[in-house]
Structure 1
Amino acid sequence: MTIVDTEPTSRVWFITGASRGLGRAFAEAALTAGDRVVAAARTAPALHELASAHPGRVLPLTLDVTDRAAVFAAVAEAVGRFGRLDVVVNNAGMLSMGMVEEFTEAEARAQLDVNFFGALWVSQAVMPVLRGQRSGHLVQVSSIAALGGFPSTGLYSASKFALEGLSEALAQEAAGFGVKVSILQPGGYWTDLYTAMRSTSPLEAYGPLREELARQFAEGSVDSDPKLAAAALLTLVDSDEPPLRLLLGSMVYDLAFDIARTRADTWARWEDVSRAAEHAIAGPA
């Protein structure tokens, strides 16, 4: 049964991975702004604490985003409670670290199941709602890892590259219905992404590379308060013309331009070879 919306000026958010880290910061920022939140996560205790602090404005849902049927049921419950959805944040994710050669099939599939397929299921579940309203904003939380592949984050990057390709297409498909799609590309934030990450069984051959990566991480790691990302998200969803992509952080901003310039330079150096590989001919008889 759909409940009549008694707060028409208050937005309704649906946030996955809302119990901690960026997701929790997003939920708290939305509530501070006077909005209502459907807070979904694998574990519920922290969500109930959030609901108790904001009576009537938080719907806590225990949800495993890799379960497609459960995702559709959660979205139906959210709409049944609040009547609509205005901002959907695909934030649930996990990090598996390891060299590409080291991943087992199960480890590789688990990484894609959460970061890519989980976001796909949520996107599919909310689109009929947003289309029907002819409004709404779907925000996909990507990563600095989607700017390029880096040693030990190959499968994580693969999951985020896939999410961004999906989201670019979805943005164009949804635009005709008045639905906006944006991709957040955050750098480092003080969340438990790294403390909860999974690691492959290391191969001895990559020992020297791991030592070098550890040194670089110790010297150059820059992490920020998740509240800063939440403030940026609010600015994004408040915009009448939100961008398809939004970089979060100076480090990721500079890195994005460095990578883009390097790619452009490489394409230019190999222009003759690229153009020579195309010459239209008549189709086969």
Structure 2
Amino acid sequence: MITNCCRINLLDLKYLKISYLQLRGIKNLSILRSLETIDFSNNHISNFDSFSEVTSLVNLDLSYNRIQSVENAEESYNLRTLNLTANSVYSMEGLDRMFSLEHLNLTINQLKQITSVNQLFCLKQLYLSFNSISKIENLNGLDNLEDLNLSFNNIYQIENLSELKNLKKLSLSCNKISKIENLHQLTVLEELDLSSNKITEIGDLVECCKLKIINLKYNKIINIERFSRISNLLALNLSKNEICEVEINTGFNKLINLSLSENQIKDF
């Protein structure tokens, strides 16, 4: 453990990186009053509290550590980027105090619910893949969210996304979704990844007129005709589905990349 930062107080540090040292903690960080970026990734840190004392902090990378909770974190008015990838975080409580957060990464943790983020009005990116989340919820209020990743979870239904008016990229790959629904209000959505689910019908997807990239690899789709109604579509991946026949007569005016490999196509 690094126990005293007083001696480097006069350096006016803005960036501090200490990685791969099995570091368990660091005291007196608040003395570094100009510190804006900390990278303590790949250590053995289990306590988040001391980092919230650095009021000047803008970017914090604590990925690949042993943090379980941020519940006792103090108010962090300046923190914009927080990376907690590959920790043991089981609760999102405490995140609602980080009012300026724009980028939040909680990939590879132990989360079962989405909570405490609907007050993060500045949030643009939210990464929650590789957790145990079963329901999309508590995202109302995230008016500036542009990129949401919920891949590799236990989600059965697409729901509660209607208020994400600025969402441009949505990743829900490797879940248990069987139906595409409740996406028609995402009017600026450009990229959608629903690969490795159990989808048979594309539902209201045709109403997402801004969509440019769709990945539906590893599903159970049998027909591609309705995709032709998505006028701005540039790339469509339907590999490893159950398509037997392909008829492309109209539509697909902008399509430049179409993948249909490993289907059951007999007639094209």
- TM-score for the superposition, normalised by structure 2: 0.29
Going by fraction, where is helix more abundant, 1 or 2? 1
Q: Which has the larger radius of gyration?
A: 2
Say which structure, 1 or 2, has more relative contact order (CA 8 Å, 6+ apart): 1
